[in-house]
Amino acid sequence: MVDKDDFLYPRGRYYGQVKPENLVFNANLQEFAQRVSYICNLETAGKIPPGQAYEQIKELWKNLKHSKKQLKIGEDPFQNEEGNSE
């Protein structure tokens, strides 16, 4: 028997560098993609207006960017201002 949450919110495997912050961001990214998909489907079916769909996706995007910034994804703590590793 398949769990309802596994069916509604599938998770893919993570193949990148295994660090806690990368795993958390990957989970956030997958949730973002899933929720955007649902919003797009609701808008396409006429259940929500385009403006509302846009605002919801915009809010999700802001949350994802905030998550990336908090987790310091893409930042190299050992890199100086010239872009060279110390």
> DSSP labels for 7-67?
HHS------S---HHHHHHHHHHHHHHHHHHHHHHHHHTTSS-HHHHHHHHHHHHHHHHHH
- Diameter over CA atoms, the chain: 55
User: What's the pTM value of the predicted model, to 2 decimals?
Assistant: 0.76
pLDDT in tens, 34-53: 999 999 999 999 999 999 99
The mean per-residue pLDDT over the stretch 72-76 comes to: 83
pLDDT greater than 80 at residue 20:
yes
- Tell me what pLDDT residue 86 has: 47
Show me where the domains of the chain are located: 17-71
